[in-house]
Amino acid sequence: MIKRLINSLFLSINLVIPTIAIAVDQFQIEDIRLEGLERIAAGTVFNYLPLKAGDKFDDKTSEQALKSLFKTGFFNDIRFAQDNNILVVYFTERPAISEIVFEGNKEIEKENLVKALKSIGFAEGRVFDRSILEKVELELQRQYFSLGRYAARVKSTVTELSRNRVKVHIDISEGKSAAIKHIQIVGNEAFSDKELLGEFELSPATFWSFFSSSDQYAKQKLSADLETLKSFYLDRGYLNFSIDSTQVSITPDKQDIYITVNITEGKKHRITDIKLVGNLVVPEKELRDRIKIENNSVFSRKQITATVESLAERLGDDGYTFANVNPVPEPISPESTDVVLTFFVDPGKRTYVRRINFAGNAKTRDEVLRREMRQMEGAWASTAKIKRSKERLDRLNFFDEVKVETVPVPDQPDQVDINYSVTERPSGNFMAGIGYSQTQGVLFNASISQDNFLGSGNRVSIGFNTSKVQTLYSFSYYDPYFTVDGISQSFGLYFRKTDAEQANLSSYALDAFGGTLGYGIPLSEHDSIRFGIEPEHLQVKSTTNSAKEIFDYIGKNGDTFNIFKLSTGWAHDTRNRILFPESGVLQSLGGEVAVPMGGDKLKYYKLNGKLAMYYSIVKNYTLMLNADVSYGKAYGKTDFPFFENYVAGGPRSVRGYKENTLGPRDSNDRPYGGTLRTLGNAELFFPMPFAKESQRFRLSTFFDVGNVYATREDFDRSNLRYSTGVAAIWLSPLGMLSFSLAKPLNTKVGDDTQVFQFTIGANFN
């Protein structure tokens, strides 16, 4: 208890008057006592208090102490008092924010509001400061103004709670977005308003505005449109183009917006000469081959940017990771529209890779990722090899996303670390499901399968699938690195029962069981060959509905066969990924020959050639051109087995025609297949409108062509079938789901057409 209060000091401090200097008697502080603290720890106060035992207390030190303590923002009031030579400090703490409640916000989600307020120190658990709350209201209103909601209002209510706490209720009235009534461009002569405004994302209200919100003004959208306008002119030769001013006006009722953009086009320029100067550490011819601009072509910033990237990439291939290529366009004279374009090349230092690091692979072993690396540690950093390493990780299909970052090593200007971060996708341990296919009907499947078994990169699968067409029991194992050199090995066993009639084919049944063993040998980064063997036991069964051709074949060759298949093939694959590739080529040639065992008469061979080319048109838009030719023939004095005939039609070949129905027919007028099949298609893939960044959905528009012929001599281009339409593909947990709407273009009598086709829960090949 204070026995004697001498020279009592009372200093009432607030935000308007942060310090009050009052003359006090000086004394030597023997001790400091803190009173009134509730949530703030004494240690925290002493950290900020610039006084300690032994210091002199006077006007100057008291003023400094008050400034330091109020600067923390923790207190509403602070009082100093003297008890003998003890300094007593009385505090009144500011309340803590117990809860922040938002109401009325729809345009901006609560999570984003909470995050934004926390960044300025206004959050639950923090000290409540009314001045910051006022700033919060103004900032939220500014955010809504930037979204074109000029009628937005923000009002806050503070409710006091027990234990020195407050509840903050922020009521938001968003109002309606101001709609763009008119956009005017002033100063354009070379291009019409319609042509220029067609490049804008913003536009006055149209029928489609309800879906695109293009008529709702936002400052960010206008800035993007102005940059698009600038790029439009700079890509068409207008080197001196400028946006002089932009006016945005709003009607008094804050409902309509008028935008005026004032521009100066300048003159159209052409590039008459291209120079390369600087330290050309790469042969000049190789750099000039990378230049995507021709002499006397129209000046284009887009082409110049692409050239800069290409030159920097070539320098990066030789280890100059941080090369700088600076393009400088210079008119020949102030009045001339002819431009000399000079690329100044500064390669910088050649950089070497210190370490390659992986992150995100919680399940997949580091060695699985590291063996895909084409960039080695200790070697110079190659842009091409770093990029190819990323592509190889993408092609594993173990990851939803793969990112790569080149990081300079501190204090080592000639060294970098390469960091790969991956997002693993579930590989699945057990799957049981049900699906449906228009051809196969209801599909039951159960499998234990892992594409990345125990993180080893190997694939193991045990499965059971059944439908009205086929029952299949299978086991397979695939090791992509059976040897350290990248030779792969695969083997498996299967038992398969097939009812061909249910697949729209001739009426017969086929039972088969056998095994497979194969090896793949890489020849180069993009080329490989494979070899395989497949012993198989077959039994063909006729039915009461079987055609004469089937009875004749069984009568001549028997119904049970033991064969030994030998296969080989070559593939050239430069695709950037296996599923939904965006660029690259897949080219393959393959062959299979059946060697009879035990005196069987089954002797035939099959050949296949395929070419698929992928072109990235713009981001997420990919054009695929595909051609596929297959041919089979018996050798010796034997007949080609009808159950090995090729078929076509349906989702996997020529859409719009019923599955497996194209080509020759048997004596019962049912599809019979043939020994020659030709397929081709052009397809443009693009993302789902509401899932543009997803790697699991794709839409497409396509043109298909193809047919099946009994023999090679029967090929006739006039018998090819064509179709066009749209399709959707979804990589679902059940597998690849495909849907298509197709219009057959040249049907003939007897064709079975099917406009809408789909497969659910079935494999997609």
pLDDT tens digits, 642-694: 999 999 998 889 999 998 999 999 999 999 999 999 999 999 999 887 666 67
- Quick one: which H or E segment has residue 555? helix 548-557
pLDDT at 144: 79
Average pLDDT for residues 432-458, to the nearest whole number?
62
Q: Is the pLDDT of residue 545 over 70?
A: yes
Stretch among 158-167, 413-422, 566-575 having the lowest mean pLDDT: 158-167
Q: What is the DSSP string of 357-397?
A: EEES-SSS-HHHHHTT--SPTTSBP-HHHHHHHHHHHHHTS
Top CATH class, 270-346: alpha beta
pLDDT computed for residue 211 by the predictor: 54
The CATH T-level fold of domain 179-264 is Ubiquitin-like (UB roll) (3.10.20)
Cα gap 652→630, rounded to integer Å: 15
pLDDT cut 70: percent of the chain above it: 90
What pLDDT is stored for residue 432 in this prediction? Answer: 43
Q: What sign does the dihedral 536-542-546-549 (CA atoms) show?
A: positive
372-399 pLDDT, tens digit per residue, is: 999 999 999 999 999 999 999 998 888 8
Per residue in 695-738, pLDDT (tens digit) is 778 999 999 999 999 999 999 999 999 999 999 988 776 567 78
At the top level of CATH, the class of 352-424 is alpha beta
* pLDDT confidence of residue 12: 33
CATH topology of domain 431-760: Porin (2.40.160)
- In angstroms, the CA 672 to CA 754 distance is 19
Higher-pLDDT residue of 99, 149? 99
Percentage of the chain beyond pLDDT 90 is: 53
Would you place residue 115 in the very low, low, confident or very high pLDDT band (cuts 50, 70, 90)?
A: confident
- pLDDT of 114 reads 82
Confidence of residue 428 (pLDDT cuts 50, 70, 90): low
Whole-structure pTM value? 0.66
| Beta strands at 31-35 and 431-437: parallel, antiparallel or unpaired | unpaired
Model confidence pLDDT, tens digit, residues 237-273: 999 999 999 998 888 877 788 999 999 999 999 999 9
Does domain 27-93 correspond to CATH entry 3.40.50.720? no
Q: What band does 184 get if pLDDT is binned at 50, 70 and 90? A: very high
Query: Rounded distance, CA 727 to CA 683, Å?
Result: 10
**What pLDDT is attached to residue 244?**
95
pLDDT reported for residue 16: 34
Indicate the SS3 state at residue 672. Answer: coil
* b (16+ CB within 10 A) / e for 369-392: beebbebeeeebbbbebbbbbbbb
Q: CATH for 96-173?
A: 3.10.20.310
CA angle 113, 119, 124 (to 5 degrees): 70
Strands 412-424, 399-409: pairing is antiparallel
Q: Is the pLDDT of residue 155 over 80?
A: yes
pLDDT band at 750 (very low <50, low <70, confident <90, very high): confident
Q: Where in the chain is the domain with CATH 3.10.20.310?
A: 27-93, 96-173, 179-264, 270-346, 352-424
pLDDT at 595 over 80: yes
Other Cβ atoms within 10 Å of 602 Cβ, number: 23
Highest mean pLDDT among 41-45, 601-605, 722-726: 722-726
